[in-house]
Structure 1
């Protein structure tokens, strides 16, 4: 049988914060999309100096190496800025805490 051991009313500070994983995943997706778009803009890059032609897959890979980290960095900075702004808007709420003792 459970019996209440005591109730307490406390206050707690509540604030919203961004989910960094979601922001970073969105940044990686935007970077990947930018690399895909830029791949078709450069459609098989030819280097006249050394006579090498890069395939579409190679161009996409090179661009993804640059675009994905840039997207991660930009959305990570955005998340940090939003966290600072949201951190200023905290409010206090009242919470009720109940404790129960159980007998076995």
Structure 2
């Protein structure tokens, strides 16, 4: 492996933890809405208030559980990681066309005094 263009790299698939947290929070809110609609209503509090309060409590719980699942999946993906040979490919891009100098072509800004003349 004396070629500087080739090197050994570790490749693994890892979960996006932010997506797991968001989906867990949404799942917690949905569980709250279902729980409020399944249980008999309380005449002293409005249903929407009960649902909002329960969603505010269960959304972080759902995010916490989903985050734990994501961390477990991340650890599993570390164990399944593979070491492969990668080759560096030089970038192939064309330089951008030169930008014309718009300052000379743009009209001079006018002020209120210039418009009166």
TM superposition score category, shorter chain reference: 0.7 to 0.9
In structure 2, the partner of 1:50 is none
After superposition, the CA RMSD in angstroms is 2.4
Q: Within 2, Cα distance between the matches of 1:13 and 1:55?
A: 55
Of the three residues 79, 85, 93, the one matched with 1:88 is 79
Q: Is the 8 A contact 1:7 1:98 kept in 2?
A: no
Q: Which has the higher strand share?
A: 1
Q: Is the 8 A contact 1:11 1:94 kept in 2?
A: yes
Question: Mapping of 1:5-20 within 5 angstroms?
Answer: 8-20=5-17
Q: Is the 8 A contact 2:26 2:59 kept in 1?
A: yes
Unaligned 5+ runs, structure 1? 1-5, 47-52
Of the three residues 54, 71, 74, the one matched with 1:63 is 54
Q: Is the 8 A contact 1:7 1:99 kept in 2?
A: no
Number of matched residues? Answer: 92
TM-score w.r.t. structure 2 length?
Answer: 0.68
Q: Is the 8 A contact 2:10 2:81 kept in 1?
A: yes
Tell me if 1:34 matches 2:31: yes
TM-score w.r.t. structure 1 length?
Answer: 0.76
- Structure of higher CA gyration radius: 2
